[in-house]
């Protein structure tokens, strides 16, 4: 009985041992399976990480190949208070990270110390030139004047950026940097506009700045000069119907603002060329609205002279006024002729205003105190010319200036007194 019990216990112990061994083996198998699975998962994750890292490094390599250490941008400066600055300004900025330089290339430079500065400037023969200066010095000028500065950073490859830089460096040479300035056709803005077309050829296309034939040069200039009434009047008097031609999209970029618009949608190889636009300085100076003084003064003068001419005692003082008035008009006509034939300003050719601002008015003024018999005939022909000028103004291609209406009426009023010169001068002699 005892022996049987011992055998039974021995069998139980063996069974328990077998069970424990089986469970241990099962646990080992499960552990190994999980371990191998984790190893496989870790390997897959590692392979994915290596693949992503390789992709990133490859992209960085390709990115480094396409981008340049040269950062090139077009600078557009806002309008200022003076006439020369009321249209804005354009320049090119190049940051060279290798040479640690930050240079602005400026086509709007001239030598104010030239001994013949005023004569050359008036005749349109003052040479302008490309100049380079440090960016900080360039910005100080516009900061002090309170004018805005915008920067359009260009997305250029290494080769394209070097091409543009070499073009500007070559233009800085003494034999290349000078050019004859033309306000509408060849200025600081058009020079930059033409760089893209000349260097990138058909790869480059400008965006939409203005619809072709939608606006004339004179109209857009009047907009920029709208609060500078005396300057606007003077400029319009000297410019002929050439500035009344309608502009194309490219021609509108003679103004910096429109060059900026044209670049905003421009493409190089089908891709936008402007990477980003940054405002470097805000516009602080505001052009205040101004009374149209020429119109008020000229109408006031017409009304005053009209009523003074009704009084007999004012006839002699009005003779002095006529001498001064017609002398000014004659000298104005002489200046218009000089700007036409004596200068290189194409926009001053064929000026219709010479019909009323006739140079011989100065001779007429000289003859008034001498009571010449020729005054009556000259006065009649002058009246015909003035009427023709007014009628022509309604149909002519050259835009008519409303400020001139009181001046033309005043000329008709004063010339009419000389169409009967003999009785007129007898009357003044007796008075």
Higher pLDDT, 30 or 2: 30
User: Which residue, 22, 41, 66, sits at the end of a domain?
Assistant: 66
Q: Which residue has the tokens 């233009």?
A: 171
Q: Is pLDDT of 27 > 60?
A: no
DSSP H helices in 225-314: 229-238, 256-264, 293-308
* Domain match, 14 and 85 both: no
- Say if residues 187 and 254 touch (Cβ distance below 8 Å): yes
* Domain match, 267 and 165 both: yes
Q: What integer pLDDT is reported at residue 53 of this predicted model?
A: 52
Residue-wise pLDDT for 341-358, tens only, equals: 998 888 999 898 999 999
Q: Is pLDDT of 202 > 90?
A: yes
* Domain match, 185 and 252 both: yes
Q: What integer pLDDT is reported at residue 426 of this predicted model?
A: 47
- Say if residues 73 and 154 touch (Cβ distance below 8 Å): yes
In a domain, 199, yes or no: yes
* Domain match, 83 and 15 both: no
pLDDT band at 14 (very low <50, low <70, confident <90, very high): low
Q: What integer pLDDT is reported at residue 46 of this predicted model?
A: 52
pLDDT band at 359 (very low <50, low <70, confident <90, very high): very high
Averaged over 249-272, what is the pLDDT? 96
Q: Is pLDDT of 429 > 50?
A: no
Average pLDDT, the chain: 84
Q: What integer pLDDT is reported at residue 427 of this predicted model?
A: 43
pLDDT band at 59 (very low <50, low <70, confident <90, very high): very low
* Domain match, 158 and 46 both: no
Q: What integer pLDDT is reported at residue 400 of this predicted model?
A: 78
Higher pLDDT, 227 or 26: 227
User: Which residue, 255, 281, 307, sits at the end of a domain?
Assistant: 281
What are the φ and ψ backbone dihedral angles of 128, each rounded to 5 degrees? -95, 160
Averaged over 211-218, what is the pLDDT? 87
Q: How far apart are CA 189 and CA 107, in angstroms?
A: 8
Domain of residue 171, residue span = 70-212+247-281
Of the ranges 50-59, 163-172, 179-188, 344-353, the best mean pLDDT one = 163-172
Tell which residue, 128, 348, 126, 322, has the closest CA to residue 234.
Answer: 348
- As for how many domains the chain has, the answer is 3
Higher pLDDT, 267 or 389: 267
Q: Counting Cβ atoms within 10 Å, is residue 316 exposed (0-12), middle (13-18) or buried (19+)?
A: exposed
Q: Is pLDDT of 384 > 70?
A: yes
Instruction: Give DSSP secondary structure letters for 20-72.
Output: HHHHHHHHHHHHHHHHHHHHHHHHHHHHHHHHHHHHHHHHHHHHHHHB-SEEE
* Domain match, 155 and 269 both: yes
Both tokens of 305, joined, read 């002279």
Tell which residue, 365, 391, 229, has the closest CA to residue 297.
Answer: 229
* Domain match, 83 and 190 both: yes
Q: What integer pLDDT is reported at residue 61 of this predicted model?
A: 42
Q: How far apart are CA 178 and CA 129, in angstroms?
A: 4
* Domain match, 266 and 323 both: no
DSSP H helices in 396-431: 405-416, 421-430
User: Which residue, 66, 92, 114, sits at the end of a domain?
Assistant: 66
CATH no. for residue 122?
Answer: 3.90.1720
Q: What integer pLDDT is reported at residue 58 of this predicted model?
A: 46
Least confident of 56-65, 189-198, 358-367: 56-65
Residue-wise pLDDT for 289-327, tens only, equals: 999 999 999 999 999 999 999 998 998 999 999 999 999
In a domain, 149, yes or no: yes
User: Any idea what the Cα angle at residue 238 is, between residues 236 and 240, rounded to 5°?
Assistant: 80
In a domain, 110, yes or no: yes
Q: How many residues does the chain have?
A: 431
* Domain match, 369 and 322 both: yes
Averaged over 9-14, what is the pLDDT? 53
Q: How far apart are CA 315 and CA 425, in angstroms?
A: 10
* Domain match, 15 and 104 both: no
Both tokens of 321, joined, read 């006024």
Q: How far apart are CA 101 and CA 94, in angstroms?
A: 8
Q: Which residue has the tokens 């760089």?
A: 195
Q: Is pLDDT of 253 > 90?
A: yes
Q: Which residue has the tokens 């009985």?
A: 1
- Say if residues 129 and 239 touch (Cβ distance below 8 Å): no
Q: What integer pLDDT is reported at residue 162 of this predicted model?
A: 95
In a domain, 231, yes or no: no
Averaged over 407-418, what is the pLDDT? 94
Instruction: Give DSSP secondary structure letters for 316-356.
Output: HHHHHHHHHHHHHHHHHHHHHHHHHHSSS-GGGSS-GGGGT
Residue-wise pLDDT for 114-152, tens only, equals: 777 777 877 888 889 999 999 999 999 999 999 999 999
Q: What integer pLDDT is reported at residue 49 of this predicted model?
A: 54
Tell which residue, 102, 91, 188, has the closest CA to residue 149.
Answer: 91
Of the ranges 24-33, 181-190, 384-393, the best mean pLDDT one = 181-190
What are the φ and ψ backbone dihedral angles of 379, each rounded to 5 degrees? -60, -40
Q: How far apart are CA 237 and CA 404, in angstroms?
A: 10
* Domain match, 32 and 128 both: no
Both tokens of 406, joined, read 């009181």
Give the number of C-alpha atoms closer than 13 A to the C-alpha of residue 13, restricted to the C-beta side. Answer: 6
How far is Cα of residue 370 from the mean position of the Cα atoms in its chain? Answer: 53
Both tokens of 329, joined, read 């008009």
In a domain, 235, yes or no: no
Averaged over 238-244, what is the pLDDT? 89
Higher pLDDT, 397 or 142: 142
3-state secondary structure of 156: coil
Higher pLDDT, 259 or 396: 259
Q: How far apart are CA 335 and CA 329, in angstroms?
A: 10
In a domain, 398, yes or no: yes
In a domain, 161, yes or no: yes
Q: Is pLDDT of 33 > 60?
A: no
pLDDT band at 55 (very low <50, low <70, confident <90, very high): very low
In a domain, 318, yes or no: yes
DSSP H helices in 67-187: 117-123, 135-145, 158-171
* Domain match, 271 and 315 both: no
Higher pLDDT, 265 or 125: 265
């Amino acid at each position: 009985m005892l022996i049987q019990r011992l055998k039974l216990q021995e069998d139980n112990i063996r069974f328990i041992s077998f069970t424990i061994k089986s469970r241990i083996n099962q646990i080992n198998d499960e552990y190994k399976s999980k371990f191998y699975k984790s190893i496989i998962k870790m390997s897959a994750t590692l392979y994915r990480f290596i693949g992503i890292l390789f992709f990133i490094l490859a992209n960085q390599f390709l990115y480094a190949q396409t981008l340049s250490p040269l950062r090139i941008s077009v600078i557009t400066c806002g309008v200022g208070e003076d006439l020369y600055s009321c249209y804005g300004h354009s320049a090119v900025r190049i940051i060279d990270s290798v040479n640690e330089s930050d240079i602005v290339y400026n086509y709007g430079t001239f030598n104010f110390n030239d001994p013949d500065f005023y004569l050359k400037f008036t005749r349109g023969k003052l040479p302008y030139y490309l100049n380079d200066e440090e960016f900080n010095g360039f910005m100080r000028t516009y900061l002090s004047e309170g004018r805005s500065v915008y920067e359009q950073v260009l997305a250029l490859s290494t080769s394209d950026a070097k091409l543009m830089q070499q073009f500007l460096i070559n233009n800085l040479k003494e034999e290349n940097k000078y050019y004859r300035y033309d306000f509408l056709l060849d200025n600081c803005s058009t020079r930059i506009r033409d760089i893209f077309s000349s260097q990138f050829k058909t790869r480059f296309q400008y965006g939409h700045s203005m619809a072709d034939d939608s606006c004339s040069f004179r109209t857009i200039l009047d907009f920029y000069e709208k609060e500078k009434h005396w300057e606007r009047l003077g400029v319009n008097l000297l410019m002929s119907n050439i500035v009344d031609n309608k502009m194309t999209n490219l021609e509108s970029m003679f103004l910096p603002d429109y060059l900026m618009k044209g670049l905003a949608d421009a493409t190089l190889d089908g891709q936008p060329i402007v990477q980003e636009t940054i405002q470097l300085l805000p516009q602080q100076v505001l052009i205040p609205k101004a009374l149209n003084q020429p119109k008020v003064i000229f109408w006031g003068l017409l009304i005053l002279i009209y009523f003074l001419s009704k009084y007999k005692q004012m006839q002699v003082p009005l003779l002095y006024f006529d001498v001064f008035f017609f002398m000014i008009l004659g000298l104005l006509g002489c200046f218009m002729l000089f700007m036409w034939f004596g200068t290189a300003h194409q926009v001053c050719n064929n000026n219709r205003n010479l019909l009323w601002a006739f140079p011989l008015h100065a001779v007429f003024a000289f003859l008034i105190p001498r009571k010449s018999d020729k005054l009556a005939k000259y006065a009649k022909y002058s009246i015909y010319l003035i009427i023709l000028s007014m009628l022509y103004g309604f149909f002519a291609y050259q835009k008519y200036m409303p400020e001139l209406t009181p001046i033309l009426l005043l000329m008709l009023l004063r010339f009419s007194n000389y169409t009967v010169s003999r009785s007129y001068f007898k009357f003044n002699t007796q008075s």
